[in-house]
């Protein structure tokens, strides 16, 4: 009996470490395998768009409702305008670590400096933790082996059968969201 429990615990631990098990919500409902695959594909596409600085593709990955930073909603149209403005907080937080750090670094702890999502993604692990927060919402956590890179949490919303980055996933209109 103890050997069976030990084997079961080893299997559970391996699934958690590899992030290969389906994600659980707070009420223990699971995503379907198809939903989890779609979310993973959406994360990979978003990572690629950021790493390649492909603004056109990036916009395709963003919710039609736009994004939120703290209690402020930013429409899709505003997000598009921010991405066209290299001095906007959104653009800097996604692509320009030097400028983002210069303008916003004082709002971040020394142990986790202000860096762009692009810089973070260059060293991020391929694994991700997906947590169902509602039937049409998921929270995805990405980590980096660099201890100075704070984990990133992106929210995804199901829209018309596809998953789009949404909510308060990124810094948008000011140096920090929270």
Per-residue pLDDT of 29-45, as tens digits, reads 778 899 999 999 999 99
The reported pTM is 0.81
For 63, 77, 131, 139, the CA distances from 67, given in Å and listed in that order, are 7, 10, 19, 14
Please name every residue paired with 157 in a beta bridge, in sequence order, or none if there are none. 137, 164
Per-chain mean pLDDT for the chain:
85
Average pLDDT over residues 158-168: 94
pLDDT in tens, 83-105: 999 999 999 999 999 999 999 88
Is the CATH number 3.10.450 carried by domain 22-166?
Answer: yes
Question: In the predicted model, is pLDDT for residue 23 greater than 60?
Answer: no
What does the block give as tokens for 12?
């559970």
Q: What stretch of H or E contains 134?
A: strand 128-134
Question: In the predicted model, is pLDDT for residue 175 greater than 60?
Answer: yes
Average pLDDT over residues 60-64: 97
What per-residue confidence (pLDDT) applies to 148? 93
What does the block give as tokens for 35?
């939903």
């Amino acid at each position: 009996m103890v050997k069976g429990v030990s084997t079961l615990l080893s299997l559970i631990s391996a699934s958690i470490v590899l992030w290969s098990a389906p994600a659980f919500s707070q009420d223990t409902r699971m995503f379907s395998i198809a939903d989890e695959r779609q979310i993973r594909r959406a994360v990979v596409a978003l990572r690629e768009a950021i790493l390649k600085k492909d603004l056109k593709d990036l916009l395709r990955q963003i919710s039609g409702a736009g994004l939120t930073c703290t209690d402020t909603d930013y429409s899709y149209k505003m997000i598009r305008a921010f991405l066209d403005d290299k001095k906007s907080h959104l653009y800097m937080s996604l692509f320009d670590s030097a400028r983002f750090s210069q303008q916003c670094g004082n709002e971040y702890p020394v142990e986790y400096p202000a860096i762009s999502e692009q810089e973070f993604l260059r060293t991020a692990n391929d694994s991700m933790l997906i947590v169902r927060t509602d039937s049409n919402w998921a929270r995805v956590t990405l980590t980096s082996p660099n201890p100075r890179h704070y984990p990133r949490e992106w929210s995804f919303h199901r829209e018309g059968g596809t998953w789009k980055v949404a909510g308060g996933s990124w810094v948008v209109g000011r140096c920090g969201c929270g």
